[in-house]
């Protein structure tokens, strides 16, 4: 998933979704694999502008804001805006949306319509009231979402979706045509978010995991769950560092 500001692009690696993604993480941790890695890269994604670490705190040692300001002066944006964030699959978008307790903006249509929608929604996604507060997913395959969303409509739409507790299903709060006025979409999304925040209890991690286990909820991932802290290329299973099989949600 990609998020962007005017001067920086942040790539959030879905590290258990593909071997390719895990290789990227390992490249920043001297061959180890852990569930987070952080580094500032040049606009072409090739040059490392900082050293790598588990997070910004390890890299900048408390000087994050000033360091980013210094780097940004050398790399000013040359285009009119960043791409709207997207997920590789709807299943993943619904799961992450549930985990983050945010609303999802699901955009459906054929490939041509989605290409147009991405350009149309670009300034909307960067609006100060919107940026960083919601997730987005663009889907051309109706089979990916139609059976797991209640109150959904077929065809080319923009839908505001609230995921269930474990990200297995969702409910369409409101639906619009692709050419909806952005001002109307903004008003509806902010109103839905206000209601969602007011009526959705914050998750407690421990209680959430226990409830998932009692209900037999699992999340099947393409890559084995766990970390490889010694960098031998295999997931560690000592002392609960990782375990094979599906991950409990």
**pLDDT the model gives residue 239:** 52
Residue with more model confidence, 152 or 11 = 152
Instruction: Output the CATH code of domain 90-199.
Output: 3.40.30.10
- pTM reported for the whole predicted model: 0.79
Nearest residue to 137 via CA among 14, 240, 224, 32: 14
Q: What is the pLDDT of residue 80?
A: 66
- Per-residue pLDDT of 53-98, as tens digits, reads 888 888 888 778 888 888 888 877 666 677 898 998 999 999 999 9
Q: Map out the domains of the chain as residue ranges.
A: 2-72, 90-199, 206-248
Judge contact between 56 and 64, C-beta under 8 A: yes
**Residue 240's pLDDT band (cuts 50, 70, 90):** very low
Instruction: Write down the pLDDT at residue 43.
Output: 79
């Amino acid at each position: 998933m990609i998020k962007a500001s005017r001067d920086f692009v942040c790539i959030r690696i879905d590290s258990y979704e593909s071997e390719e993604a895990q290789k990227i993480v390992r490249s920043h941790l001297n061959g180890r694999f852990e569930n987070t890695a952080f580094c500032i890269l040049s606009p072409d994604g090739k040059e490392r502008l900082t050293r790598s670490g588990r997070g910004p705190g390890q890299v900048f040692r408390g000087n994050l804001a000033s360091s980013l300001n210094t780097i940004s002066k050398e790399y000013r944006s040359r285009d009119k805006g960043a791409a709207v964030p997207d997920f590789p699959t709807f299943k993943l978008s619904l799961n992450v949306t549930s985990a983050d307790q945010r609303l999802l903006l699901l955009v459906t249509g054929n490939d041509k319509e989605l290409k147009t929608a991405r350009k149309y929604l670009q300034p909307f996604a960067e609006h100060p009231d919107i940026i960083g507060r919601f997730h987005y997913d663009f889907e051309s395959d109706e089979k990916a979402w139609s059976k797991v969303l209640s109150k959904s409509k077929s065809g080319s739409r923009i839908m505001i979706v609230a995921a269930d507790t474990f990200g297995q299903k969702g409910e369409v709060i409101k639906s619009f045509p692709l050419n909806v006025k952005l001002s109307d979409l903004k008003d509806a999304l902010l109103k839905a978010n206000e209601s969602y925040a007011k009526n959705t209890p914050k998750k407690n991690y421990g209680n959430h995991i226990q409830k998932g286990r009692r209900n037999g909820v699992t999340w099947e991932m393409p890559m084995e769950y766990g970390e490889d802290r010694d960098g031998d290329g295999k997931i560690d299973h000592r002392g609960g560092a990782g375990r094979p099989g599906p991950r409990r949600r």
